[in-house]
Every structure is written in structure tokens, then in C-alpha cells.
Amino acid sequence: MKIISYNVNGIRSASSKGLAEYLKAENADVVCFQELKALPEQIEESDFTSLGYECHWFSAQKKGYSGVGIISKEKPLLVERGCGHALYDAEGRVIRLDFSWGSVLSVYFPSGTSGDERQNVKMDFLNYFFDYIEDLKKSFPNLVVCGDYNICHQAIDIHDPVGNKNSTGFLPEEREWMSKWFASGMVDSFRTLHEGVAHQYSWWSFRSNARANNKGWRIDYISISGILSERLKSSGIQAEAKHSDHCPIWVELK
């Protein structure tokens, strides 16, 4: 089983750059999207249904902002939009699909880059989401939490850890949360199989030719819990896919 996670930074923009052709070549079972920047009626679903996918979207109330979605070749038992928090649900940050083998979530964590107020929202989201997942595990222990977490966990995950030590996305309190997250039973699917491998990033700034020079950040993760973590076969980052300022990440489960 192959699962892809991709912050597309506008699904309509990504579609215009060959997203459907990429998905056809990859032939994944489940694809999680973040930052749709579109309402469901603005998305050309035929790009995905023609490849055999069911489409499930959860857009932000604000047009052109945030939003998450999951497309799947297997019909889910249940689709759950939102995480029970008025603000985060209005911003379209969490969607979950339940299957007989486990549950897949697509999550778009707040970035905190626009100032102290949004940084506070980000930290509040982290605390709320941690408790939300801990509670969810009681009923759904086998989770795949895909998304743009907007945090680099370790120095190896960012091109300039010294220069960015005070930057949102690499703040000590954010990194501590990631450590707590992975200590809670969630598995970092990429780092588990690629321990110590440097210069592996999933996002690059549009500034200063950052992507061409591979001055990036690894802020996208597929975290796995329960027996699914024991079925982890392979994982990777596809930096060569260029439909967004992020790139796709993926896992294969036995």
C-alpha cells in the first residue's frame, strides 16, 4: 500500500503544472493534500476520478486559504471532517478517512510566520492536536497522520540550523513538541528508515533560488502509529516533483 502526502500550495495551481500526470505515474492507494486554497466546487475532480480515486475535501471557510483533502482508491468506511475545534475547523485543517486496516489523516498545521498572534495559534493547535490524537488512538490505534507540520524536528532537517534558531518552524518549543509527538508512539516514517541522511527537505522558499541550491526545510511528515508502524516498508521524499514550493513525501506499508 502506497500513501502520498503533498502540500500543493493551491490545488488548482498544482493541477495546471501536471499534478494528475504525476499521480497517474505514482499510482498511490491514498493521497493526502494540504493547502488546497479552493472550495470543493472549484476543484476539477475529474483529474482524480479518472484515475480511480474517490475525492474528499475539507476547505476553509475563507476563500483561497488553507484546506485539506484525501483521495483514495478504496472506499472509506467513514469520512470525518474537522477535529472538533471551531477555529481549526473553520480553517479546514484536519480530515480523516477510516478504513478496515486503519485511519488516514491529512493535516495542515498553522505556520506562525505572520506574527506573534498566529504563532500563539500554532502553539495552541499543537497542544490541542496532541490531545486529540491521544484520544483518537483509544478508538483508532492504527493511524497515518500525513501533513505539513510546519516544524523541522532536528538540525539535520533544516539547511541552516544556526541561522534559523529563532525562526518559527524551528523554535525550541516547537521542536520539543515534535519530540513529545514521536515519544508518544508516533513513528517518523522517513527518519526511521533514513537515519542520519542529511540534505533531505520537503519545502523551499521561493526566495534566493533556494530550491535550486537545496536550501530547504523538512516540515512535511507521515507519522504512523500502532501495528501500521511495524508494516513500514519504505519511505521517501520526491524533491524532483515540482508542482508546489513543497514536494511530495510517501510511504509504502506491507
**Residues noted as catalytic:** 148
Q: Which residues contact 116 (CB under 8 A, 6 or more apart)?
A: none
CA-based torsion, 180, 222, 145, 150: positive or negative:
positive
Taking CA atoms, 97 is separated from 103, 116, 142, 147, 197, in Å, by 6, 33, 12, 14, 32
Secondary structure of 152-184 as H, E, C letters: CCCHHHECCCCCCCCCCCCCHHHHHHHHHHHHC
> Other C-beta atoms within 10 Å of 222: how many?
22
Q: How far apart are alpha carbons 90 and 184 in whole angstroms?
A: 28
Q: Determine how β-strand 143-148 pairs with β-strand 103-108.
A: parallel
Burial class (CB in 10 A: 0-12, 13-18, 19+), 78: exposed
Strands 2-7 and 187-188: unpaired
Q: How far is CA 249 from CA 71, 119, 222, in A?
A: 15, 25, 8
As given in the structure block, the three cell numbers for residue 23 are 499521480
